Amino acid sequence: MLYSSLRSEADKLAAIAKFHASNCSFDCANRSVQIFGSAGYRKTARVARHFLDSRATIIYEGANEVLELKIAAAVLGNEYSSY
C-alpha cells in the first residue's frame, strides 16, 4: 500500500517535472531565436539547433499533451482519467 502510494506520487512528480522542464527549455530556445533574429533562424545557427532539439523534448518520453492528462488525473482523481 505504502509502495503503491509512493509510486503514484513519484509518477505524478516525474510527469510534472518533465512537463515543466521541456516547456521551459523550448520557451528559452524560442526566445533565443527571437533575440538573434534572422541569424537565429539559419539552419547552421546554434540557437536553431536548440530550437529543434528542445521542441522534440515536448514530444518524446511522454508527449506533454498526454502528460497533462496524467497530471490532471493524479491531482483530480482517477475518475477524471481520460487515457
Binding residues vs ligand FAD (CB under 6 A):
56, 59-60, 63, 65-66, 69, 83
Q: Taking the C-alpha atoms of 72, 76, 79 and 83 in order, what is their torsion angle to the nearest 10 degrees?
A: 10
User: CA gyration radius for the chain?
Assistant: 17
Which CB atom, from 3 or from 83, has the smaller least distance to ligand FAD? 83
Which CB atom, from 10 or from 56, has the smaller least distance to ligand FAD? 56
Which CB atom, from 17 or from 63, has the smaller least distance to ligand FAD? 63
> What is d(CA 48, CA 60) in angstroms, rounded to the nearest whole number?
19
CB of 44 to ligand FAD, least distance (A): 19
